[in-house]
Amino acid sequence: MIRYRIDGSAISSTQDFYDEIGRAVNGPGGYFGANLDALADCLRGGFGTPADEGFEFEWTDADRARDRLDRFDDIVAVFADEGVPLHLR
């Protein structure tokens, strides 16, 4: 299973989250959604993630990001709704 790492220490805003998850999956400047609906689409696979094998995310410094993101719980819910494992560290 492929694991992507989201660096919570790099996140101070919702835009930072989308920039960081884009970097985690597709490299610097990479895209992986810009709102909750687009994130859900990307988590279905094929936007840098494999379309035919499992993948998961590890979110380091998640507590720090939680304190800075108004939509933290909504973002976590999208992962759950799409059945993509998200490990908060």
Look-up of token digits 């597709």? 26
Contacts of 15 (CB under 8 A, 6+ apart): none
Amino acid found at 69: L
Summarize pLDDT for 19-40 with one digit per residue, the tens.
999 999 999 999 999 999 999 9
What is the rounded CA–CA span in Å between residue 45 and residue 39? 10
Q: What are the structural domains of the chain?
A: 2-88 (3.30.370.10)
> In a 3-state reduction of DSSP, which class is residue 7?
strand
Distance (Å) of CA 19 to CA 11, 25, 68: 9, 10, 15
**pLDDT tens series, the chain, 89 aa:** 999 999 999 999 999 999 999 999 999 999 999 999 999 999 999 899 998 899 999 999 999 999 999 999 999 999 999 999 999 99
pTM: 0.95
